[in-house]
Amino acid sequence: MRKYLQLLMLLLSIGVFAQENESRFNFQIENKNVLEVLNEIEQEAGVTFYLDEKWVSDKNYSGNFTNETLENILETIFKETNLNFFRLNDSKIIITQNNIIYKDLPEGFFGKEEIDSVKENTNYTRISSNPVFSNIEASNKNTITRTVRIGKENLTNTRSGYTIRGYAKTAEQGQPISNLSIILNGKNSGAVTKDDGFYELEVPMGTSILKTSSLGIEPSTTRIIVFNDGELNFNLNESVEFLDEVIVEANAAKNVEEALSGSTELVVEETKNIPLVLGERDVLKVATTLPGISTAGEGAAGFNVRGGSTDQNLILLDNAVIYNPSHFFGIFQALNPFTTKDLKILKGGIPSEYGGRLSSVFDITSKDADNEKFSGEAAVGPVTSNVALEIPVVKGKSGLLVGGRGTYSGWILRSLKDESLNNSKASFYDAIAKYTHVVNDKNTLRAMGYYSSDAFSITSDSVYGYNNRLLSFQWDHQFNEKNTASLIVANSNYEFNIGYEGNSDSNFDLGFVVDETEAKFKFTYLHSKAHKFDYGLSAKLYNVQPGNLEPNGGNSIVDTKIIPNEKAVEAALYVSDNFKVSDKLLIDVGLRYSMFATLGTADARVYEENMPKNEETLVETVSYDTNEVVETYGGPEIRLSARYFLGPDLSVKASYNSTYQYIHRLSNTTTISPIDTWKLSDNNIKPQKGRQVGLGLYKNLEGNQYEISLEGYYKEADNLLDFKVGSELLLNETIETETLQGDGQAYGVEFLIRKNSGKLNGWLGYTYSRSFLKLDSEFAEERVNNGAYFPTNYDKPHDFSAVMNYKLTKRYSLSANLSYQTGRPVTYPVARYNFNNSEYVVYSNRNEFRIPDYYRLDLGINIEGNHKIKKLAHSFWNISVYNVLGRNNPYSVFFVTENGELKAYQSSIFSIPVPTITYNFKF
Amino acid sequence: MKIIKYSFLISCILLLVNCIDPFEIEATEFKSALVIEGTITDQEEIQRIMVSRTFPLDTVLMTGLSAVNVNVLDSNGGVYAFSETSPGDYRSNTPFAATAGLTYTLKVATSDGNSYTSEETAVPAKTNIDNLYADRDFKDDGAEEGMFIYVDSYDATGQSKYYRYEYEETYKIIAPNWSASDAYIVSPLPNPEVAIRAKTKEERVAYNTVASNTIIQENTTELGEDRVNKFPVRFINRENFILSHRYSILVRQFVQSRAAFSYYETLELLSGTESLFSQRQSGFLEGNIKSDTNAEDDVVGFFQVSTVSEKRLFFNYTDFFEGESLPKYPVDCTLVSPPIINEAGASPLLVAIELETLKYVEEYNQETNPNNLSEFGPFLMVATPCGNSTFYGTNVVPDFWVE
């Protein structure tokens, strides 16, 4: 499989070179294995053969060549075999079995589709083991146009049409030609031959032209003069067509075909025309325009997927978990758009390979560097500049991808009028390097390193910073045709720091770190056409430093406070069977068993059972030694998906998922902030559990040009983490006394229509969804809203997005985003009262009110540089205006008492139109 | 630490936000709810329950709720009826004390036909204040100096744990420019004439009593024993004039249930100004009283049964600040001498006497004008609070007052 892929890739990337100045060679071969012979030729002639060694391993050859061209030598050697060869260029020769590689496809192979609407999407390319052309030989014969008379003109005959029938056969072997189109010229009618080559066609009286065409068969034109029913046979030559360049889009119908529901892919390159704020191409932002994915507010970090909280998404960058994939509190993504290949979001059916988060998987893959030629891409925008380079290291074997991005956001802060921000600064950068080494056709190594950093100071005396560090290593190995495996080792580290340096003696440093290392073995076993098994195991070690407060400088009187480190392991075994029950029914049955153990050193606090956790109910504190198991959790997770074809382009899918999550984000604010900490499950905080059922209908129209999907889901979750009103989470050693764990419930319907090609492309998505939480307890202090279900902070029932791009010409395109969302729920004060000799306000039930609805329109124009093939660099301009309508969308509302009077304020992020110009170029 | 975190969040918002706009809270969002505040103590006394309703955010009018049927039931079947003494203020018809071992329930029925019941509430353990004492010290690492009022308490059984404090402070006020005489108007304009006569009521010394209005709580759960040690119930900055002469504080220590403790704690957090910017998750604070008739009908407030112990403390300014100058009197006591008739033909002196804005201090020698005043009259006068201490309190010596 991989072999073919490589062959085709090579074929695609490089055109056919003229074979001039043929060199001539001498060889003496005495009963040598063909493979050895080829090796010898490789060395002598300076060429490389691409072939499967199995084809020639049992073949020997003897013979002498003197001053022969390479072509002749190979022809002679392969004469007695079923092998063919194709000379790609001076140094590459592709050997094929049975098949001949054609340089061109027949005209009209892709219908009327324009070539520039075909997108490269090689990641999901799957080429079937039946190549496009089968067993046809080269022929240079010209098509003969013949004239056939059927019947004799008879003036007494009044019939206006006659039936002709016959067989189509190959001229050489006399094999029946099936699926041959016979078109009655100019009459919009015709026939297609059956499996045995038979056809039947109504033709008018008199002269007609019949044209035949089929893949691999030379077209023919036959003039017929018909005056009666009769027989007409076709003996047709097989044709040779040479490919120029074919880009295979194998996943065009994936939407309809695969078993997983609720999965979405975004190819970064395809998102470049979408207007975004401050010119940052941001695939994560684009993701939020898709149904089921939203954020708490404009510029808010984190994603809410199908009514799940922001900590329930497993965000992977080349297999390593990225805890905070955003810069500048969430306004920008921390991913370099030039090094990111694609983003796959799994929000419905989650394959058993993934686990540890309830709601979704964001699988972000970086590009593999081009190992043939040096290339690069750069962008200059108003906030950041960005560059990526692809550097071949060993030609044809390995390449290095490096990317870097930095901001000059100082001016943003300076341009804000607020005087309190005069001393503020903010900077961020991220860098990535990925090395891809194709050791041989059975082994590929990938190593990736990533670092992102944010630092900002708002007042002169404090500096805040956070950073992500990822390292990942992947070794793909193919044991044989049926078995492949990957070994993945990934480390991820997220930390934040607050440094305070004022004039007083209270200077301090505060830090938080979460670090995880995972090793994962993945195996794939292609059992048969019907069964494909994926199985594997993984183990992850967590180390969390929940909070360290240290004095800064000799004068500081701050007491050192260190919350004890947390340590745990999470392990999982998984297996799944992709089972093709019939042509119509495909099921994916997966089971994952995950286990989690909290390890010492730890002081585990034990509270009275069935009592609220607080100092009063603390029974004892048990000490555990290093690596001693404090608490274990675990259980089976079921992952079921099924697809059933209702029609050729229409399928229905159903899925059921259950998931466990052992690490939780602690946040008592309504939107997430970079100083939210993460907490591992322990003897007091139980893992979150989720279950989701989904049902969807998928339809592709007009040759996969349009994808339509309608999906519904219902989710339940246990032990979702929330916090008591007014809890203090940072540097809190007894965090369990502040937490509440409750049940979640979410449901929704998502509709998406997506047009992938043509002048107008883009998508429209609409989601109706609800998300609720219930925090109930027999104790009032652990109860919210009387223990009834209430809307979560990110419950936005109506969510509409349109992302559209219209190509005016090949160089100019217009794009527009439109989004509308119901305002998110908030808690308002609703009354005042006197109590304890003071005045207080009554807050409404949690999230009883909503901020005003959100809507925004962005417009952009994209100008591609000219399309000359030979030029130094390819440039791309993007001019866009974010929030054209200048809508003042509220981000949050808050209440301040000023001189005893309560005042309400709303804040907004980008309340005015923000114009941007960016310049990108590729070289 | 708290402050840092909040300022961070504030800044975050400012940094990103182009615009913070005030907006009107719509009047329709008013939530009318019953408010009940009641603490039954273990002291044999007339017990008190306050019933009111919430009022809209844009008004300041608080009214008690009248015609409410208030009863406290004990687990022995005892019923203690309450009667309204003033709107919203209900007192038990007879004195009674909460008895250890029993549980108490509050029942309230309003005139609109709704009734409300509290959770059954047990009587917590009883712990006396062992020591109530004052000490001069610095607060916030020297930022402020003043008097701390400390409480020591110890429960050997370890049952009490959750303490709430209320206090009533009484201080003596001495008018710095008191005179035995008052000026009065003999004849108005156009022929103004003034004279002085002896005061008829005490205006030199007064006493003022103020109840605490903040939530003061302490718990001993993190300690090895149930001991409250040197807990600062009250801090008074040395610049505060209430310390000037003699000061007394009555501190009541309530031992309360943990539920009550956390109710007050959260109430304090929600009302703190620092929570306003942070987008902290706020919400309806649920007490322990529920509507019997309509589960949707939220009740604000808490009914609790507490044991109470109280102690009183007196000290003089000189006990701690011997030889040091007194705190500044709350108003400026500069002596003035308003003319009886000025160039405009008005009489500032008569106006001041009539409106009682100034008080007589002494005669002024208009011949020599010893104070070199630009304009003057027959008397030296001073702002009323400087000459009449009853401006700040009552001249009735409180029953408990001990010199």
Contacts of B269 in chain A (CB under 8 A): 725-726
* Contact call for residues A691 and A718 (beta carbons, < 8 A): no
When CB atoms are compared, the residue of A458, A500, A831 closest to B56 is: A831
When CB atoms are compared, the residue of A416, A459, A894 closest to B277 is: A894
| pLDDT tier for residue B8 given thresholds of 50, 70 and 90 | very low
Q: Look at residues A797, A788, A675 and name the one whose alpha carbon lies nearest to residue A731.
A: A675
When CB atoms are compared, the residue of B62, B279, B281 closest to A725 is: B281
Please give the C-alpha separations between residue A511 and each of A212, A310, A601, B280, in angstroms, as whole numbers: 75, 22, 20, 21
Average pLDDT, chain B: 85
Is pLDDT above 60 for A116? no
* Contact call for residues A71 and A99 (beta carbons, < 8 A): no
* Contact call for residues A291 and A752 (beta carbons, < 8 A): yes
Q: Give pLDDT, residue A580.
A: 92
Contacts of A458 in chain B (CB under 8 A): 7-8, 11-12, 14-15
The verdict on A416 and A565 lying in the same domain is: yes
The verdict on A577 and A718 lying in the same domain is: yes
Structure tokens at B151: 């409480």
Q: Which has more pLDDT, A765 or A190?
A: A765
Q: Look at residues B48, B57, B50 and name the one whose alpha carbon lies nearest to residue B25.
A: B57
The verdict on A604 and A720 lying in the same domain is: yes
When CB atoms are compared, the residue of B1, B18, B212 closest to A908 is: B18
The residue-averaged pLDDT of B305-314 equals 94
Is pLDDT above 80 for A108? no
Structure tokens at A549: 């407060």
| pLDDT tier for residue A187 given thresholds of 50, 70 and 90 | low
Contacts of B1 in chain A (CB under 8 A): 549, 730-731
Q: Hey, is A218 helix, strand or coil?
A: strand
**Residue recorded with tokens 């959100």:** A854
Q: Which has more pLDDT, B141 or A149?
A: A149
Q: Look at residues B250, B264, B253 and name the one whose alpha carbon lies nearest to residue B170.
A: B250
* Contact call for residues A243 and A101 (beta carbons, < 8 A): yes
When CB atoms are compared, the residue of A832, A838, A908 closest to B19 is: A908
Residue A667 lies in a domain: yes
Residue A246 lies in a domain: no
Range of the domain at A201: 146-236
Is pLDDT above 80 for B402? yes
Instruction: Give phi and psi for A418, each to the nearest 5.
Output: -55, 120
* Contact call for residues B164 and B373 (beta carbons, < 8 A): no
- pLDDT digits 0-9 by tens, A681-725: 999 999 999 999 999 999 988 877 888 999 999 999 999 998 877
**Residue recorded with tokens 């997108």:** A119
CA angle A277, A279, A285 (to 5 degrees): 55
CATH number at residue A165: 2.60.40.1120
Is pLDDT above 70 for A614? yes
Is pLDDT above 60 for B306? yes
Q: Model pTM?
A: 0.68
Distance, CA of B77 to CA of B102 (rounded, Å) = 10
Residue A140 lies in a domain: no
Q: Give pLDDT, residue A705.
A: 82
The verdict on A864 and A815 lying in the same domain is: yes
- pLDDT digits 0-9 by tens, A872-904: 667 888 888 888 888 888 777 766 655 445 667
* Contact call for residues B310 and B252 (beta carbons, < 8 A): yes
Q: Which has more pLDDT, A679 or A152?
A: A679
- pLDDT digits 0-9 by tens, A340-382: 998 999 998 899 999 999 999 999 999 999 888 899 988 887 7
- pLDDT digits 0-9 by tens, A119-139: 333 333 333 333 333 333 333
Q: Give pLDDT, residue A120.
A: 35
Structure tokens at A632: 């274990």
**Taking a contact as any Cβ pair under 8 Å apart, which residues of chain B between 342 and 371 contact chain A?**
none
Q: Give pLDDT, residue A145.
A: 65
Among A617-631, B10-24, B204-218, the range scoring the smallest mean pLDDT is B10-24
Residue A813 lies in a domain: yes
Q: Hey, is A113 helix, strand or coil?
A: coil
Q: Hey, is A475 helix, strand or coil?
A: strand
Q: Is the ipTM of this complex over 0.85?
A: no
| pLDDT tier for residue A161 given thresholds of 50, 70 and 90 | confident
Residue A241 lies in a domain: no
Q: Which helix (H) or strand (E) holds A415?
A: helix A410-415
Is pLDDT above 80 for A419? no
User: One-letter amino acid identity for B5?
Assistant: K
The verdict on A812 and A715 lying in the same domain is: yes
Q: Which helix (H) or strand (E) holds A200?
A: strand A198-204
Give DSSP secondary structure letters for A842-873.
Answer: EEPSTT-EEPPPEEEEEEEEEEE----SSSS-
**Taking a contact as any Cβ pair under 8 Å apart, which residues of chain B between 30 and 49 contact chain A?**
30-33, 35, 37
* Contact call for residues A911 and A892 (beta carbons, < 8 A): no
The verdict on A179 and A297 lying in the same domain is: no
Q: Give pLDDT, residue A413.
A: 58
**Taking a contact as any Cβ pair under 8 Å apart, which residues of chain B between 300 and 329 contact chain A?**
300-301
Is pLDDT above 90 for A831? no
Beta strands in A775-889 (DSSP E): 789-791, 798-807, 812-821, 825-826, 829-835, 838-843, 849-850, 854-864, 874-882
CA distance B275 to chain A (A): 8
Residue A130 lies in a domain: no
> Where a domain ends, among A89, A124, A159?
A124
Chain centroid, CA A347 distance in Å: 12
Instruction: Give phi and psi for A904, each to the nearest 5.
Output: -110, 135
Percent pLDDT > 70 in chain B is 89
| pLDDT tier for residue A840 given thresholds of 50, 70 and 90 | confident
B141 touches chain A (CB under 8 A): yes
Residue A136 lies in a domain: no
Cα separation of the two ends of chain B: 44
* Contact call for residues A481 and A526 (beta carbons, < 8 A): yes
Q: Give pLDDT, residue A872.
A: 62
Q: Which helix (H) or strand (E) holds B350?
A: helix B348-354
The verdict on A756 and A813 lying in the same domain is: yes
CA angle A247, A810, A282 (to 5 degrees): 75
The residue-averaged pLDDT of B117-122 equals 92
- How many A×B Cβ pairs under 8 Å? 231
The verdict on A423 and A543 lying in the same domain is: yes
Please give the C-alpha separations between residue B51 and each of A388, A833, B37, B89, in angstroms, as whole numbers: 70, 11, 7, 7
Q: Which helix (H) or strand (E) holds B13?
A: helix B2-16
Contacts of B262 in chain A (CB under 8 A): 614, 781
The verdict on A503 and A615 lying in the same domain is: yes
- pLDDT digits 0-9 by tens, B348-375: 889 899 898 999 999 888 888 888 888 8
**Residue recorded with tokens 């001069």:** B136
Chain centroid, CA A268 distance in Å: 9
Enter the DSSP assignment of A166. E
Count: domains in chain A: 3
Q: What residues contact residue A557 under an 8 Å CB cut-off, 6+ apart?
A: A505, A506, A551, B141
Q: Which has more pLDDT, B63 or A163?
A: A163
Partner-chain contact B25 A841, CB within 8 Å = no
Q: Give pLDDT, residue A90.
A: 74
Contacts of B27 in chain A (CB under 8 A): none
**Residue recorded with tokens 């339509």:** A708
The verdict on A266 and A209 lying in the same domain is: no
| Beta strands at A677-680 and A189-192: parallel, antiparallel or unpaired | unpaired
Average pLDDT, chain A: 81
Is pLDDT above 60 for B105? yes
The verdict on A617 and A726 lying in the same domain is: yes
Residue A137 lies in a domain: no
Q: Look at residues A492, A515, A569 and name the one whose alpha carbon lies nearest to residue A678.
A: A515
CATH number at residue A95: 3.55.50.30
Q: Look at residues B104, B23, B144, B236 and name the one whose alpha carbon lies nearest to residue A849.
A: B23
Q: How many CB atoms lie within 10 A of CB A108?
A: 9
Q: Give pLDDT, residue A895.
A: 65
**Residue recorded with tokens 């992020």:** A909
**Residue recorded with tokens 């153990």:** A597
Enter the DSSP assignment of A808. S
| pLDDT tier for residue B277 given thresholds of 50, 70 and 90 | very low
Partner-chain contact B20 A728, CB within 8 Å = no
Is pLDDT above 80 for B11? no
Structure tokens at A456: 């900002």
Enter the DSSP assignment of B325. P
Q: Give pLDDT, residue A625.
A: 93
Q: Which has more pLDDT, A425 or A212?
A: A212
Percent pLDDT > 90 in chain A is 33
* Contact call for residues A366 and A318 (beta carbons, < 8 A): yes
User: One-letter amino acid identity for B122?
Assistant: A
| Beta strands at B181-187 and B289-291: parallel, antiparallel or unpaired | unpaired
Q: Which has more pLDDT, B310 or A20?
A: B310
A845 touches chain B (CB under 8 A): yes
For chain A, percent helix, then strand, then coil, each to nearest 5? 10, 55, 35
> Where a domain ends, among A92, A124, A156?
A124
Partner-chain contact B55 A831, CB within 8 Å = yes
Is pLDDT above 80 for A773? yes
The verdict on A93 and A152 lying in the same domain is: no
Q: Is the dihedral of CA A324, A329, A333, A336 positive or negative?
A: negative
Instruction: Give phi and psi for A90, each to the nearest 5.
Output: -60, -30
A728 touches chain B (CB under 8 A): yes
Q: Look at residues A424, A310, A411 and name the one whose alpha carbon lies nearest to residue A362.
A: A310
CATH number at residue A421: 2.40.170.20
The residue-averaged pLDDT of B130-136 equals 93
Structure tokens at B56: 């809209």
Q: What residues contact residue A610 under an 8 Å CB cut-off, 6+ apart?
A: none
